[in-house]
Structure 1
Amino acid sequence: MLAFLFLLLVGFALFISYYFTNKMTNQRKQILLLKHQNNSLKNKADLEKEEQIIVKYHYPDKNQGIIKSNCKLYLWPSDKSATLNSLMENIVVQIHDSAEINEDLWYEISILSEDRTNSKGWIKSDCLTFEDIT
Structure 2
Amino acid sequence: MKLFIILITIMFVIILYLLNKIEKQKIKILYISKQNHLLLKKIDNTKNIYNNTKNLEFKPTLLNIKNVCIKNTTTIKLAPFDFSPKLLELSENSSVDIISKIYIMNILWYEVSINNQNGNKINGWVKDCNTNFVYTK
TMscore range, shorter length: 0.5 to 0.7
Q: Distance in 1 between matches of 2:124 and 2:105?
A: 18
Instruction: Please tell me whether residue 48 in structure 1 is matched to residue 50 in structure 2.
Output: no
In the TM superposition, structure 1's runs of 4+ consecutive aligned residues that sit over 2 Å from their partners are 40-48, 112-119, 130-133
Residue equivalent to 1:65: 68
Q: Distance in 1 between matches of 2:87 and 2:76?
A: 5
Residue 120 of structure 1 and its aligned partner are, at CA, apart by 1.6
Query: Contact (CA 8 Å) 2:65, 2:135: kept in 1 or not?
Result: no
Query: Contact (CA 8 Å) 1:65, 1:130: kept in 2 or not?
Result: yes
Instruction: Please tell me whether residue 83 in structure 1 is matched to residue 76 in structure 2.
Output: no
RMSD after superposition:
2.8
Q: Distance in 2 between matches of 1:100 and 1:116?
A: 30
| Cα shift readout 1:41-77 (whole Å, capped 9, x = no counterpart) | 9935234311524122231331111111101000111
Aligned residues: 95
Residue equivalent to 1:14: none
Query: Contact (CA 8 Å) 1:65, 1:131: kept in 2 or not?
Result: yes
Q: Distance in 1 between matches of 2:121 and 2:115?
A: 12
Between the aligned residues of both structures, percent identity stands at 27
| 1:1-134 pair list within 5 angstroms | 43=40, 44-49=42-47, 50=49, 52=52, 53-59=55-61, 60-115=63-118, 119-126=122-129, 127-132=131-136
Change (3 A) 1:56 1:65: same
Query: Contact (CA 8 Å) 1:65, 1:128: kept in 2 or not?
Result: no
Q: Distance in 2 between matches of 1:65 and 1:86?
A: 16
Normalised TM-score (structure 2): 0.57
